[in-house]
Amino acid sequence: MLTPAKENRKTKLKLLLRPLGRLKLKLLTKISVTRYNRRYANFQPSSNPDGVVLAIDKHVASLAALLDRGNMEMFLKRLAELSVKLLSDPLRGRALFVPELDELARRSSLIITPKPHPPANSKLLLHIATEVFPTGGHTRVIEDVAAALPDYRHVLLITNMHGANPDLACLKPRFDELGLMLHVLQCLSWTERARELSSLIAALRPQAVLLFAHQDDSIVNAGVAGHAAPCVLFVHHADHQPSLGAFRLDYAHLDLTPACHSICTARALLQPSFVNLTAKDIGAVQSVERHPIIGVTCGSPHKYAGSNQFTYAQLLAALFANGVGQILHIGYMPESQKDEIRADIAASGQDPSRIIFLPNTPSLAVKLQEISPDFYMTSHPIGSGKATVEALSVGLPVLFICPAGTLPLLNPDMTFSASVLLSALEQIPAAVHRLETEKNTLAKRSREVYEKHYSPAAFREGLLSALKLGA
């Protein structure tokens, strides 16, 4: 036991060394950043017309060397790091597949899980996601699957969130209502998390594993071998960027948008299934006669940033100048981004108060019924999928913003040509006129498209087929 004098000297020594510890941390961080920059100096990946990433041979060789040496921890870190580097221009909207990385990921999964798990003996479906969000379209797809298959038990396993995350607390009542049990990985190291994931699958023995992981989630790709369950299904929801797992031949594949499916079916070895997205049927909105008309849009902040022939603010200003009274923007957006949009609208000579920002909503369809707007506008410059389907489900006319030359993967037409297409600002007067004079006809067409292509019954049937499950 230390005497008071020695304890005092020990405390003083810690205080003296603390600045050195901070300096060491800064130096290590600086060294790490320097090495990162050097590692990706002159990094210029490309892609071919088939959606395959090219020109990353050096990085693939480096990852293969790590795996061959048995350095699984560094392999998983670098695999995720490289995957993140691919999630930007010039590949966004042009490439989906990284076959070399998927083969390395498959090899790593056979190291983590060398033998098949015991046969499944329960009607259990395991969903695996990197993160979930209260308003995320991908999270809603997981909920839609659980709702469509109530005769199965559902477990959702999260790889990159902690149990105290406020988003999980917000989502728990919704998950509980669906009977969706939640589990979060606990281990800290990359390798141990992959092993924990594999062990949990072995303990649960699910009939099928559905992968909703982020494009760069190396933990999932290493922790889930193709023999982990009778069916391991890669759900292609992140369908406009390269993704780990998108070319795993030991997985089954399911596409959720026609644009993605058209590229994936061209890869003969994948043999993907296809099912359209869905939304709960809560009925159509009650039509309201008003002038001027008002519109609604909804999406993540990044879908409204940047430009594709014109910016979001320029689009809004042009709509206001041509008879649209208000646009209600549903969903969180940073104050700085809101201020920039308002300033650009004002600079165009229009009233910025006509764009009204509303908070996140648990259900877009319910909110649309509450507001009863005259039309729904797709996000710009990056389009949306799930939100558009919810707008169709309540029978709203859709103003589909898709400038000429937009890559199909970045803005697929979810309306099956039942929308009012806007590809240039010069078309706004005619588009607004149609929304004003053909409102009821357009609303009816939206509802018909939903009932034909996006019904819960069709979604269930497609899932059962893709998962190779009996009705």
**Model confidence over 329-367: pLDDT tens digits?**
999 999 999 999 999 999 999 999 999 999 988 889 999
pLDDT value of residue 355:
98
Q: What is d(CA 68, CA 59) in angstroms, rounded to the nearest whole number?
A: 14
Half-sphere exposure of 119 (CA within 13 A, CB side): 1
Closest C-alpha among 362, 386, 368 to residue 172:
362
Closest C-alpha among 311, 268, 285 to residue 374:
285
Q: What is d(CA 353, CA 317) in angstroms, rounded to the nearest whole number?
A: 11
Coil, helix or strand for 229?
Answer: coil
C-alpha to C-alpha distances, 316 to 42, 162, 322, 345, nearest whole angstrom:
38, 39, 10, 7
Q: Are 219 and 76 in contact (CB under 8 A)?
A: yes
Domain boundaries, given as residue ranges, for the chain: 110-277+456-466, 293-453
pLDDT value of residue 32:
62
Q: What is d(CA 111, CA 223) in angstroms, rounded to the nearest whole number?
A: 9
Structure tokens at 90: 């010039």
Which superfamily does 293-453 belong to?
Glycogen Phosphorylase B; (3.40.50.2000)
Q: What angle do CA 297, 148, 391 make, to 5 degrees?
A: 15
Neighbours of 66 (CB within 10 A): 19
pLDDT value of residue 35:
75
Q: Are 217 and 160 in contact (CB under 8 A)?
A: yes
Q: What is d(CA 81, CA 227) in angstroms, rounded to the nearest whole number?
A: 26
Q: What is d(CA 292, CA 179) in angstroms, rounded to the nearest whole number?
A: 44
Q: What is d(CA 356, CA 328) in angstroms, rounded to the nearest whole number?
A: 5
pLDDT value of residue 471:
52
**What's the distance, CA 272 to chain centroid?**
19
Backbone angles phi, psi at 132, to 5 degrees: -130, 155
pLDDT value of residue 370:
95
List of the chain residues with pLDDT < 70: 1-32, 121, 238, 470-471
Percent of the chain with pLDDT over 90: 75
- Which residue is it, tokens 């603390």? 18
Peptide bond before residue 90 is cis, with ω within 30 degrees of 0: yes
pLDDT value of residue 6:
53
- Which residue is it, tokens 């039942």? 418
pLDDT value of residue 3:
55
Q: What is d(CA 160, CA 218) in angstroms, rounded to the nearest whole number?
A: 11
Q: What is d(CA 236, CA 233) in angstroms, rounded to the nearest whole number?
A: 9
Residue 255 β-bridge partners: 236, 274
Class of 110-277+456-466 per CATH? alpha beta
- Same topology, domains 110-277+456-466 and 293-453? Answer is yes
Q: What is d(CA 450, CA 350) in angstroms, rounded to the nearest whole number?
A: 35
